[in-house]
Amino acid sequence: MGGQGDGDVGARLRGYTFDAGALIALERRDERVRAMLDRVLASPDALIHIPAGVLAQVFRDGPRQARLTRLLKKPQTRVVPLDTRTALVAGMLLARRGCSDVVDASVVLCARTHGQGVVTSDPDDLRRLDSDLQLEVI
């Protein structure tokens, strides 16, 4: 999968955090995302985390988004809310890095919290927020 980490980040880090680009790729039947999901979901202790803001960016038409709906129903999928604490930390991270995308900051914080890599189509913005973040670029 053209990742910027070494080896299978998802297996090593116990799952992935998905950004909007990853979910869009899933909906577009991207085989790399499908294969990665199959590997992660085959492991009972691996989780897929989707920050709530990411889900809001992507979810537009439930009946037509069957792949995303199926992923959301998997027992290993967690939608992570943007609570008060996360919002405050995200704001501070954005201020420190001179950025403004709250959803990107929530993706970074979710990945950090859960010890995961991020599946993304937009590595540059995430790298600006955390240069040590493990990324799987699709």
For residue 27, how many other CB atoms are within 10 A of its CB? 17
d(CA 61, CA 4): 32
Q: What residue has token string 């979810």? A: 59
Say which CATH superfamily domain 9-137 falls into.
5'-nuclease (3.40.50.1010)
Q: How far apart are CA 70 and CA 56, in angstroms?
A: 16
Residue type, 61: D
pLDDT digits (tens, 9 = 90+) for 23-49: 999 999 999 999 989 888 888 889 999
pLDDT digits 0-9 by tens, 59-105: 998 778 999 999 999 999 999 999 999 999 999 999 999 999 999 99
C-alpha closest to that of 123 among 111, 110, 138, 103: 138
